[in-house]
Amino acid sequence: MNTNLKELCDLIEGTITVGELNLPITGFSSIKEAESGEITFLGNARYASSLKKSKASAVIVDEQFTDIPEGIAVIRVNNPTLKFSLIIDKFGPQKQPFIPGIHPTAVMGANTTYNPKKVYIGPCAIIEDGVEIGDGTSINGGVFIGRNAKIGNDCLIHANAVIKDRCVLGNRVIIHSCTVIGSDGFGYEFAVGKHLKIDQVGIVQIDDDVEVGSCTTIDRARFGRTWIGEGTKIDNLVQIAHNVITGKHCILVSQVGISGSTRLGNYVTLAGQTGVAGHLNITDQVTMLGRSGVTKDIDEPGAYMGYPTKPLMEGRRYLAYPSKVPSIIERLKVMEEKVKQLESKLTEI
């Protein structure tokens, strides 16, 4: 990367408020990692203190931010995070172009439906009988697609992911490596001292524009479908049990677990390591803080936390209640002593 402040400012359609137009810029990086000569950006005012320690030569900030350190050039834009992406797109590592083709080591089943000129199927990928694959889709090396699964257009299935039989993916779905879509739901009937397996004959349906991280598991329904709504984004190591339904545009952060048959509304966010019990309904626009444990329906939009879950402000107070116990005991002791004295005085009277 060999450019200058003015060229970058033109690229992101900003305004230089501090710095020479011809200041050389040799790279881009985060506030903490930036070296001298590099440009960075401030995505959120709460990192202002990091900016003071940054070695960056230039920073992209929004139009309101005022706490600019000495000696750093400044470009102002309305959305620094998005505008910084333009710099990454231009100067960052080149994206791998989509080159269609079926690798000779890929194993293609019978009665599969795809246009070999418009899909990429990588080495040692296994496409079982009856699979349908839409145009523009990449199935990377080592991926397994079970029989009669349907993959839409422009999907990206990363290496060693597994999509089991009959599951259905929409368009522009991204599945990361070692993720398993459609393994059996965890269902048993206890009889004669044993757990007898209940067949899981449903599927997983994943709608358009969903992204699923690595080593995540989404189980097939007992019957019917486990259903991930359009635009939902799922992080790594998330568990989604059988018959769960998520709304549209949900965010499920890493290590979240959702038990069977629970339904999330639209725009629900579950932060990391949150667990949700089974057969619950979570309404639209609910946000759970990290490590929450949800055991009841949630009917009102808003932010929640804790176990059992409470609305955010109440949850914060609740977390602090135990800390008041020592002072309560202290006050109790004082009172008990006073009452004792009062009693003895009264006896004297």
Task: Rank residues 17 and 279 by Cβ distance to a second copy and give the closer one.
Answer: 279
How far apart CA 214 and CA 161 sit, in angstroms, is: 8
Task: Report the residue from 21, 45, 313, 319 that binds a second copy according to the rule CB under 8 A.
Answer: 319
Task: Rank residues 20 and 199 by Cβ distance to a second copy and give the closer one.
Answer: 199
Number of H helices, E strands in the chain: 5, 39
Cβ–Cβ under 8 Å, residues 78 and 84: no
Cβ–Cβ under 8 Å, residues 257 and 237: no
Number of residues located near a second copy, criterion CB under 8 A = 114
- Beta strand ranges found along 156-240 (DSSP E): 156-157, 162-163, 168-169, 174-175, 180-183, 188-191, 194-197, 203-206, 211-212, 217-219, 225-228, 233-234, 239-240
Using CB under 8 A as the criterion, what x/- string covers residues 262-281 for binding a second copy? ----------xx-x-x-x--
**Cβ contacts of 44 within 8 Å, gap of 6 or more:** none
Element (H, E) at 108: strand 107-108
Rounded to a whole number of angstroms, the minimum distance from the CB of residue 105 to a second copy is: 6
Residue 209 interacts with a second copy (CB under 8 A): yes or no: yes
Task: Rank residues 3 and 217 by Cβ distance to a second copy and give the closer one.
Answer: 217
CA distances from 103 to 142, 145, 280 (A): 11, 15, 45
Rounded to a whole number of angstroms, the minimum distance from the CB of residue 79 to a second copy is: 8
Residue 253 interacts with a second copy (CB under 8 A): yes or no: yes
Task: Rank residues 22 and 321 by Cβ distance to a second copy and give the closer one.
Answer: 321
Element (H, E) at 58: strand 58-61
Choice among 103, 195, 242, 279 that is catalytic: 242
Catalytic residue status for 242: yes
Element (H, E) at 320: helix 312-320
Task: Report the residue from 165, 283, 287, 312 that binds a second copy according to the rule CB under 8 A.
Answer: 165
Residue 89 interacts with a second copy (CB under 8 A): yes or no: yes
Q: Which stretch binds a second copy (CB under 8 A): 18-26, 63-71, 131-139, 291-299?
A: 291-299
Q: Which stretch binds a second copy (CB under 8 A): 1-9, 14-22, 296-304, 327-335?
A: 327-335
Task: Rank residues 98 and 307 by Cβ distance to a second copy and give the closer one.
Answer: 307
Residue 177 interacts with a second copy (CB under 8 A): yes or no: yes
Cβ–Cβ under 8 Å, residues 266 and 246: no
Give me the active site residues, please.
Answer: 242
